[in-house]
Structure 1
Amino acid sequence: MLKRLLHKLEDPKRPLLGPNLKALKFWGLLLPENFIMRQIYILLHLSVILFTASECVDVWFVKSNITLLLNNLKITMLATVSVCKISTFLFWQNDWKKIIGYVIEADIVQRKTNDIIKQTIIKKFTKYCRKITYMYWCLMYTTVIIVMVQPIMKYFSSPVYRENVRNGNETYLQVVSSWVPFDKNTITGYLIASVIQSYGAIYGGGWITSYDTNAMVIMVFFRGELELLRRDCANMFGTESSPVTEQVSKERLKDCHRRYVALVKHARLFDSCLSPIMLLYMFVCSVMLCVTAYQITIETNPMQRFLSAEYLVFGVAQLFIYCWHSNDVLYASQDLMLGPYESTWWMHRISYRKNIFILIAQFRKRIVFTAGPFTELTVPTFINILKGAYSYYTLLSQSQS
């Protein structure tokens, strides 16, 4: 059953991005050409944006209760980032389509190779993309389910909480803290609010999974394309025992140059779309991790601690995956200039070696994705964010004690 479902997600015409593109279309990030469906998706997006705004409004009403405030902040800040992700994706739809089109076209061209080693590399990266996509989907929807069932779990696992709710000393724990234009402390109002909040959590989860996995797979593609390009540069002149003609080597050199120019162009375009979002997310993630870690320490219910810990794992994993893959692209771009040196360049005359030197000089450019104009998405940056979050957590703990 599962294999059949995963098989339906594949697209022979888009062997690398198949499941990711279907997720983007299903959740409406890639708007359909049909006018009616297009308007429906726009209305759905607007409804979730308005719901996120209601979460921000609710901060004012719960500001006096530190527990409710922290619950609101950790969800609302992540939801705000999601709204920014989707808004920029829709506004910059043409740029994203250019990036996706380039990835699909370049990937298909490379899959036509007869080189066994290149085929192995492509299969490895494709398999890795599937793993990270499906694992991220599972992690995200597990988080969504936990957020939705958390009120029920707390009600049945905490006798003190049940008694306080019955006596009116505590209010019902909400799925997501948000403002509604009616009393949500009654049974009817609470159930209606829970349905609205569950809808926002599910659709917001779809936003995050489709956007993030698409961006991550594109990062993996850039990493794989750099590795394949390095191998093609090493085979530019054939092997020492089986050299190619000068005409063939010239065509290969031109092809390597053309591919590198296209790669750098689209990597910069991708970074321009992703960088503002990552700048916002780095700030939000620091606060979100701090708040969640603090909740784990003050929570006495074991079940609630487990649920908060899972949310913390999701927040750390989301940022780490971006930094890890960007770090991979950086090191692959630095190793690219080794490709021409690994070829049989010494077998050609000096005048021809000048072209090789020019190509190597081009390869010296670093390709790395950024978080605004301030920092690069790398593993050291991820570690610094964790240090910052721990500092905020220490400050919050001391202020409350």
Structure 2
Amino acid sequence: MELKEEWILPDAVYENPLLKRTLLGLRYYGLLLGQSQPYKKAHCFRGMVFTVSMILFNCTQYVDLWQVWGSVSDMTANAATTLLFTTTIFRIIFFYFHRARFNSIIQAAHTGIERILGDGWDDEREIVASNVRYLSRLAVVFWSCALVTANMMCVYSLVLYLMYEEAPVSSPIAGQPSSSSNEPNGTTLQQYPTPILRSWYPATEGKDKHFLEIYLIQLYIMYVGQLIVPSWHMFMVTLMIYGRTECSVLNHRLCFLDRYHKPDQTTPKTTPNPDCVDNEERRTLIIDCIKRQANVVAFTRELEQLTRAAVFLDFVVFSVLLCALLFEASMTTSGVQVFIDVCYITTMTAILFLYYWHANEIQACVSFGS
């Protein structure tokens, strides 16, 4: 398979102060390629392997969900990561089908930031710098929450396995129900050792004999998920923050037109001269602002076209999962599991909040500028 030129981003994009940290995760996954990057096909193949792995594992999760259908607690334990992986797979497949459009919108954001920095106005550079700092703080908080949640699940499962191995094997007492019997509410008691995630495994003698194989498979899937899920959501938020940055710069220009002068004029950039107005220059600045606003509108519309289906799925799926996780947290007696559920809820709520908040910010900036 030959790689198309529009699938490859210029190296300068990966050095953009607003984009470089966000694009790094997608590049490691294998979705994005650089101009001077060696072994481009190998990187694409790595991304396809990760994606196929997630699809196959997600299928085993749905098989397990079908097997425990009717058991509320088991379905709840299965649903959270199953639906999260499903929405992630949907985004990745959608990206593969629209790779050129995604690369185009990334380059548009890169060009916009480079133009602002290249104009040389200190106030506009400070607007960009403040948004870069804001994005960095946001990324640290979001990545920390996501990584703590996922790694806590991995460690908790391993600890339970070690405790299970050390526990003595006891036979059920006569007249008492065994641990595999159903509870009155229709839910089944959790069998140990507990894997990281609920999934189906083709073992006729039971999963207990294959815990290490199941654990290693799920550990691999979890680390793939830890790479792509936060990277993708921060990628979307970064594009929204770029839209907010452009709107803020335009609003600043329109509010302080008297500070802007032609490069060949002797008037310093920081010293306004309201008594001497160059109407031709003022007209040129206003026309430039209108053109930039048109570019921002085109950018936001393209971003909406590329993300609205996935964001809609996020709002629907996460709303259901929040209820499911709250139910699971209320039913469990493990403090660690409650902590994991709280982190899971916090991560999903943060994703919805970031989308909602920054979309509203862009709308507010556009309304102010118009």
- Name the residue aligned to 1:176: 197
* CA-CA distance at 1:82 after TM superposition: 0.8
Query: In the alignment, what sits opposite 2:283?
Result: 250
1:333 alignment partner in structure 2: 366
Structure 1: which 5+ residue stretches go unaligned? 1-9, 337-362, 364-401
Structure 2 residues not aligned, in runs of 5+: 1-11, 173-177, 180-190, 260-271
Question: Contact between 2:201 and 2:214, CA under 8 Å: does it hold in 1?
Answer: yes
- Matching residue's letter, 2:71: N
Tell me the percent identity: 21
More helix by share: 1
Provide closer, same or farther for how the CA distance between residues 157 and 111 of structure 1 changes in structure 2, counting only shifts above 3 A.
farther
Name the CA distance, whole Å, in 2 between partners of 1:144 and 1:55. 17
- Which residue of the other structure, out of 110, 134, 137, is the alignment partner of 2:140? 134
| Cα distance change, pair 35–29 in 1 and its aligned pair in 2 (3 A) | closer
- Following the alignment from structure 2 to structure 1, what is the Cα–Cα distance between the partners of residues 120 and 71? 65
The question of whether the paired residues in 2 share the 8 Å contact of 1:154 and 1:304 is answered with no
| Alpha-carbon distance in 2 for matches of 1:45, 1:317 | 25
**Following TM superposition, by how much is the alpha carbon of 1:263 offset from its aligned partner in structure 2, in angstroms?**
0.8
Tell me by how many angstroms 1:264 deviates: 0.6
1:276 deviation in Å?
Answer: 0.3
> What secondary structure sits across from 2:330 in the alignment?
helix
8 Å contact kept, 1:86–1:207: no
Is the Cα contact below 8 Å between 2:193 and 2:208 reproduced in 1?
no
Mapped contact 1:236–1:249 kept (Cα < 8 A):
yes
Whether 1:121 and 2:127 are equivalent positions in the alignment is yes
* CA separation of 1:12 and 1:71: change in aligned 2, threshold 3 A: closer
User: In structure 2, what is the Cα distance between the partners aligned to 1:231 and 1:62?
Assistant: 58
Q: Residue 11 of structure 1 contacts residue 19 of structure 1 at CA under 8 Å; is this kept in 2?
A: no
1:143 to 149, 168, 171: 149
Alpha-carbon distance in structure 1 between the residues aligned to 2:215 and 2:135:
35
Q: Which residue of 1 aligns with 2:60?
A: 54
Give 1:330-369 correspondences, 5 Å limit.
Answer: 330-336=363-369, 363=370
Query: Residues of 2 paired with 1:323 and 1:164: CA distance?
Result: 52
Aligned mates of 1:86, 1:163 — CA distance in 2: 46
- Select the residue among 198, 201, 205 that pairs with 2:226: 205
Q: Is residue 157–residue 195 contact of structure 2 (8 Å, CA) maintained in 1?
A: yes
State the one-letter code of the partner of 1:58: D
- 2:24 pairs, out of 2, 11, 22, with 22
Deviation (angstroms), 1:151:
2.0
Equivalences, count: 327
Cα gap change, 1:36/1:11 in structure 2, threshold over 3 Å: closer, same or farther?
closer
RMSD: 2.6
DSSP-derived class of the 1:112 partner: helix
Once the 2 structures are TM-superposed, how far is the Cα of residue 117 of structure 1 from its aligned partner? 2.3
SS in 1 for 2:257: coil
Aligned counterpart, 1:303: 336
**For 1:319-371, what per-residue CA distance to the aligned partner results, in whole angstroms no more than 9, with x for missing partners?**
111111112112111111xxxxxxxxxxxxxxxxxxxxxxxxxx3xxxxxxxx
TM-score (norm 2): 0.81
Query: 1:274 and 1:209, CA in 2 relative to 1: closer, same or farther beyond 3 A?
Result: same
**Following TM superposition, by how much is the alpha carbon of 1:191 offset from its aligned partner in structure 2, in angstroms?**
1.0
Q: Identify if the C-alpha distance between structure 1 residues 260 and 178 changes in structure 2 by more than 3 Å, giving closer, same or farther.
A: same
Distance of aligned partners of 1:164 and 1:90 in 2 relative to their CA distance in 1, 3 Å threshold:
farther
Q: TM-score normalised to the size of structure 1? A: 0.75
Amino acid at match of 1:20: T
Report the Cα offset of residue 316 of structure 1. 1.2
Q: Which has the higher contact order (CA 8 A, sep 6+)?
A: 2
Q: 1:104 to 1:232 in 2, by over 3 A?
A: same
Is residue 11–residue 18 contact of structure 1 (8 Å, CA) maintained in 2? yes
- Cα distance in 2 for partners of 1:194, 1:63 equals 23
- For 1:340, the equivalent position in structure 2 comes to none
The answer as to whether partners of 1:299 and 1:305 remain within 8 angstroms in 2 is: yes
